[in-house]
Structure 1
Amino acid sequence: MPVTENIGRRQSIPILYTRGTHYEVGFDVGRTFGALIQSFIKSCETLNQEYLPAYETQEGRQAYEDTLNNLKTNFPQYIKELEGIADGSKIPFHKLLLLHIDDVILAAVKKEGIKQPTGCTSIAVNMKNGAILGHTEDALRDTLNHFYFVSAHIVSDKPQGRWNVKEEKFTSLCYAGHLPGYTMNYNHHGLVFSINTISAKNLKPGKTPRHFLTRAMLGAENFLQVQQILRDSGVGAADGCSVNMTFLKQEGDRLFHNVEVGPGVNSNESQLSALTISPGEDFIHTNEYQRLKLEQGNEMMLVSSKERYKTLKNYIPPSTKEDVITMLGDTSHPEQKVFRTQQNDYVQTIAVGIFDCNEKTWSLYADNPTSNEPLVVMPLVLQNTKSN
C-alpha cells in the first residue's frame, strides 16, 4: 500500500544544498533523502509492475544495456551522479535508471505502459507588468510527498560529457531518486524552464531518454546550446517532451520559448519544433504535440490535455502573476481538472511553481495556489549577482 494513502498531502518540501563532483552531489542527495527514495521505490507501481518485469526479459535487458552504453559514452557524468544517488540511498542502480528509461523499455517488449492522464500544465506570460512562467507538476499519485529541491554546485577538474561542461550551478525540483532537470528548474546562467511530458507512440530503445537531455540543459548558457542539447545529433531522443523556457540575462526584449521534442525514430537526432513567445504574448502547453506531426500514445493523457487546454483557453488571456495562479488552480472541469487533487485520482498535482522573471523569484506551492500561500519564495540567484 503506497505510503501516500496514509499521510495525506504534506505541506513540506525539503531542500538540499550540495557542492562537489557529480558522484559526490548524487551521493549527498541519496544519503540525505534515502528514506524518501526508498519509500518511493517501494510504492512505485509503474516500476514494480511494469519496468522491472520488462527488465527481466531478454529484449528489455538488451534495451536497458543499449541505453546505458549510449549514456556512458555521451553523458558519463550523469551516470556517475545517478550511481551516487543509488549508493547514498542504498537502492540498486538499475532500479533508478529504469525510472529514467521510463516507457521506452516497454517499447522493447512491445508492451504499452499504464495508461493514465499523467502530465503537467505550463503557462508563459510575456508582458511588461508580468513576465511569468507557471507550472503544475502533475504525476502518478505514488509521487505525492516524494519530491525535494536540490540546489547543487558541481565543479569538475576537466570537461565532462559530449558538451564539455566543467561547472553547473542550479536548483531543481526532483522526484525521489531521479536526476534533476525534468520538472521545474533554473541555473545560474539565468535559464528558467519547465517540462511537459508527451507520450509519443513510437519510442526508440537505445537512444537518449528525455530525462538525460533535460538534465544536460541545466548546464546550458543560451538558447542555441539548449537546441543543440535537445537535438542530440548523433543519437537523438528516445521519447518526447515539451520544454518551456526563458533566459533572465538575455539582452534586448524578453523572449520565452517552447520546444517540442520528438524521438529520433528514423534519424540520429531528435525531432524539434521551436516557438518563440514575443513581448505581449502568452502561451499554454499541456501534454500533446501542438506543432510536431507525430502519432501520440496514451489516449487518456491526450483527453486530459485537450480538456485542460480548453479550460484555460476559456479565460481572458493572462497578463499577470495573479491570472496565472488563478488558471493553474482551476478545478472547474468535473473530471479533467487543471489542479488535480481528487482523492481517488491516479494522477495528482503534487506542486505548483511560479517563476516571476521581473522579480527574479520562484514561488513553490504544495497545494492549490488559489487558496494557499506558497511554502517558499526563493530568489533566483544568478552568476555575478549578489543575493541579499
Structure 2
Amino acid sequence: MSITTKKVYNMFERRQAIPVIYVRGTHYDVGYDVGRTFASLIREFVNVFKPLNEAFIPLYNSPEGQRVYKETLDSVNKSFPQYVRELQGIADGSKVEFYKLFLLHMDEILPNVVDNNNSMDAPIGCSTIIVNEPGKEVLGHTEDALSENLNNYYFVSAHIISDSPQGKYKVTEERFTSLCYAGHLPGYTMNYNHHGLVFSINTLSAQSLNSGKTPRHFITRALLSAENFVQAQRILRDTGVGAADGCSINMTFLNQEGDRMFHNAEMGPAIKPNDKESQLNILTVSPGEHIMHCNRYLRLKVPEVTGLIIDSSIERMDTFKIFKSPKCKEDVIDMLGDTSAKEHQVFRDKAGEEEFLKTICVGIFDLNKKTWSIYKDNPKTNEPLIVLPLLLK
C-alpha cells in the first residue's frame, strides 16, 4: 500500500481560492450564515491577528479601554443597529466573542484614543487607479493587508430584506457583493451593489481619532445601501455623529445618466469630539481624466500619523509617476502589478513572513463590460482567478 505524504498547510502561501457565499435573509440571518460557513477562517484569523491580540484586547481590558469601547458601540447601535445585529450574527455563527469582532472594526481607535498611539506602524494600505476614457472606463485596486489576511477572506453576495425600515437611513432592502476579510462586515474592500454603485477603499490614518463616533467600517457598510451619489455623500458625512477615523472611497454608479463620472472621496474624522459630521472632500474624475490614490490625504487638510504608511504611499505614488498617463485597462494592470520600487512596491509578494504586508489580491472593474476581475497573483503575468458579472437591480 502506497503512503501519500501530506503537505503541511502554510498560511503565508498564496492559495488559488476565494470562497463565496450566496445568502438571503435578515441582517442577523446573513451574519449568522456567513459566520457559520466561514467559522474556521474567522477563528484562525482572530487567533493569529497580532494587532488584535497584542494591542486591542489588552487595551479593551483596561478601564479607559472599556469606556471608549462602550461609547463607540453605543453610538453605532443608535445609528446602525442592523449592522450590529449582523456582526452579532457573524460572532454567533463562528463562535467567536462579539467584542473581538467589534474591536477589529474599531481598528486603531482604541490605541489612538487611550494611548495616543499608532499601534501598527506598518506600510498598510491599498493602491487605486481610475481611468475614465471613452469606452475604457476602469477602476483598478490592489487589496493590501497584513500577511495574516493572505488567505483569510471571502466573497459575500447577500440579499437582505427587512420587515421595517432599518437604521438612520430607513433601509428596507440591500443587495450587494463584497470581498470581506474574515470576521469583518462587508464594505471595506472592493464592492458593488444592485443599484450600480461600484467602490473600493483606501485606508487613511488621521493623527487624532474619536471615541463615540462611527468607525469607518460601519460607514462603508452603510454605503452598500446607497441608491445614488447624493445618498452616498450623505452616508459619508454621517451627519449627527461623524466618522471616528478616515478613509478614501473610489466610486462610480454604473447606471448614471449622461457621461461616466468617477469620484474620489477623502473622508476624515470629525475634527472635535463635539462635531457631528465627517470631514469630506470629493474630487470628480470626468471623461478623459484619471486619478491615482494610495494612503495619504491629498486634498483634505487632516493631520496624519507619521511612519511607514506615509512612506509607502509616497513611494507607490512616485512609482506611478514613472508611467505614462494610463489610458486603458492594460495600463492599469501594468501599474498595479509593478514591483520595481526599492522598498515599497505596488504589488507586494515577498515570500514567507519576512514581509509584514502583502497584496492579497487585485481587482479590476471594467465598467464598459460590466465585469469585476479578481487576480490572486500579479496581474501583469497571470490571468484572473475569477471574472464576475456586475448584476444590477
What TM-score do the two structures reach when normalised by structure 2?
0.96
Alignment match of 1:326 (pick from 325, 334, 358): 334
Alignment match of 1:40 (pick from 27, 45, 57): 45
Partner of 2:101: 96
Alignment match of 2:370 (pick from 345, 350, 360): 360
Specify the SS of the correspondent of 2:51. helix
* Cα shift readout 1:14-52 (whole Å, capped 9, x = no counterpart): 110000000000000000000000010011000000000
Alignment match of 2:60 (pick from 52, 55, 61): 55
* 1:314 equivalent in alignment to 2:319: no
| Deviation for aligned residue 1:196 | 0.1
Correspondence list, 1:200-219, <5 A? 200-219=206-225
Which 4+ stretches in 1 moved above 4 angstroms?
3-7
Q: Name the amino acid aligned to 2:40.
A: A
C-alpha contact (below 8 Å) 2:132/2:262 kept by paired residues = yes
Specify the SS of the correspondent of 2:284. strand
Q: Name the amino acid aligned to 1:16.
A: I
Partner of 2:110: 105
Instruction: Return the alpha-carbon distance in structure 1 between the equivalents of residues 11 and 299 of structure 2.
Output: 42
The verdict on how the C-alpha distance between 1:141 and 1:207 changes in structure 2, with shifts beyond 3 A counting, is: same
Partner of 1:246: 252
RMSD: 1.0
The verdict on how the C-alpha distance between 1:4 and 1:108 changes in structure 2, with shifts beyond 3 A counting, is: farther
C-alpha contact (below 8 Å) 1:141/1:348 kept by paired residues = yes
C-alpha contact (below 8 Å) 2:12/2:148 kept by paired residues = no
Instruction: Return the alpha-carbon distance in structure 2 between the equivalents of residues 6 and 366 of structure 1.
Output: 15
Instruction: Return the alpha-carbon distance in structure 2 between the equivalents of residues 170 and 108 of structure 1.
Output: 33
Instruction: Return the alpha-carbon distance in structure 2 between the equivalents of residues 255 and 7 of structure 1.
Output: 38
C-alpha contact (below 8 Å) 1:99/1:178 kept by paired residues = yes
Partner of 1:157: 163
C-alpha contact (below 8 Å) 1:116/1:298 kept by paired residues = no
Partner of 2:311: 303
Count, aligned residues: 381
Instruction: Return the alpha-carbon distance in structure 2 between the equivalents of residues 109 and 35 of structure 1.
Output: 32
Partner of 1:195: 201
Partner of 2:270: 264
Alignment match of 1:379 (pick from 382, 386, 389): 389
Instruction: Return the alpha-carbon distance in structure 1 between the equivalents of residues 211 and 372 of structure 2.
Output: 35
| Deviation for aligned residue 1:129 | 2.8
Partner of 1:169: 175
Instruction: Return the alpha-carbon distance in structure 1 between the equivalents of residues 246 and 221 of structure 2.
Output: 14
Q: Name the amino acid aligned to 2:165.
A: P
C-alpha contact (below 8 Å) 1:59/1:108 kept by paired residues = no
Unaligned stretches of 5+ in structure 1?
A: 384-388
* 1:349 equivalent in alignment to 2:359: yes
Partner of 1:85: 90
Specify the SS of the correspondent of 1:265. coil
* Cα shift readout 1:343-364 (whole Å, capped 9, x = no counterpart): 2110100010000000000000
Instruction: Return the alpha-carbon distance in structure 2 between the equivalents of residues 221 and 227 of structure 1.
Output: 11
C-alpha contact (below 8 Å) 1:4/1:144 kept by paired residues = no
The verdict on how the C-alpha distance between 1:301 and 1:4 changes in structure 2, with shifts beyond 3 A counting, is: farther
Partner of 2:346: 338
| Deviation for aligned residue 1:268 | 1.1
Partner of 2:36: 31
Aligned-pair identity (%): 59
* Cα shift readout 1:332-387 (whole Å, capped 9, x = no counterpart): 0021100001121101000100000000000001111111111100000001xxxx
Partner of 2:288: 280
Instruction: Return the alpha-carbon distance in structure 2 between the equivalents of residues 236 and 85 of structure 1.
Output: 25
Instruction: Return the alpha-carbon distance in structure 1 between the equivalents of residues 208 and 74 of structure 2.
Output: 21
Instruction: Return the alpha-carbon distance in structure 2 between the equivalents of residues 316 and 164 of structure 1.
Output: 45
Unaligned stretches of 5+ in structure 2?
A: 1-7
* 1:180 equivalent in alignment to 2:210: no
Specify the SS of the correspondent of 2:47. helix
The verdict on how the C-alpha distance between 1:87 and 1:311 changes in structure 2, with shifts beyond 3 A counting, is: same
* Cα shift readout 1:240-286 (whole Å, capped 9, x = no counterpart): 10000000000000000000000003221100000000000000000
Instruction: Return the alpha-carbon distance in structure 2 between the equivalents of residues 351 and 99 of structure 1.
Output: 20
C-alpha contact (below 8 Å) 1:31/1:89 kept by paired residues = yes
Partner of 1:22: 27
Instruction: Return the alpha-carbon distance in structure 1 between the equivalents of residues 31 and 321 of structure 2.
Output: 41
C-alpha contact (below 8 Å) 1:27/1:85 kept by paired residues = yes
C-alpha contact (below 8 Å) 1:255/1:277 kept by paired residues = yes
Instruction: Return the alpha-carbon distance in structure 2 between the equivalents of residues 6 and 208 of structure 1.
Output: 32
Instruction: Return the alpha-carbon distance in structure 2 between the equivalents of residues 6 and 223 of structure 1.
Output: 39
C-alpha contact (below 8 Å) 1:129/1:319 kept by paired residues = no
| Deviation for aligned residue 1:109 | 1.6
